[in-house]
């Protein structure tokens, strides 16, 4: 398996699509990005990397970490 979070996330996404083609999910990005004329707000901190639902309507969230990944104390508090 890959060692950085982006590569781990890509592998998980590809595996989910292959094994569970009926799952509906999307990747969330948190924070803000600079756009023409200012900044665009993305998802609030604390949301999982992926959110989705099963064909029966069950919601799920997936938080991705590389093998050495750590969650900040502030984010841990938001996720509880």
Contact at 8 Å (CB) between 9 and 17? no
Instruction: Quote the DSSP letter at residue 27.
Output: E
> Would you write out the chain's pLDDT as a tens digit for each of its 80 residues?
456 788 888 999 999 999 999 999 999 988 888 999 999 988 888 889 999 999 999 999 998 887 776 666 666 666 56
pTM attached to this predicted model? 0.70
Contact at 8 Å (CB) between 50 and 27? yes
Token pair for residue 27?
């990747």
Token pair for residue 32?
């803000």
DSSP 30-77: BSEEEETTEEEE-BPTT--SEEEE-TT--EEEE----TT----HHHHH
């Amino acid at each position: 398996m890959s060692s950085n979070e982006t590569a781990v996330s890509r592998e998980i996404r590809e595996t989910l699509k292959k094994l569970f083609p009926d799952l509906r999910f999307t990747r969330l990005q948190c924070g803000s990005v600079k756009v023409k004329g200012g900044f665009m707000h993305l998802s609030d901190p604390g949301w999982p990397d992926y959110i989705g639902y099963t064909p029966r309507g069950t919601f799920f969230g997936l938080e991705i970490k590389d093998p050495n990944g750590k969650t900040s104390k502030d984010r841990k508090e938001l996720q509880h």
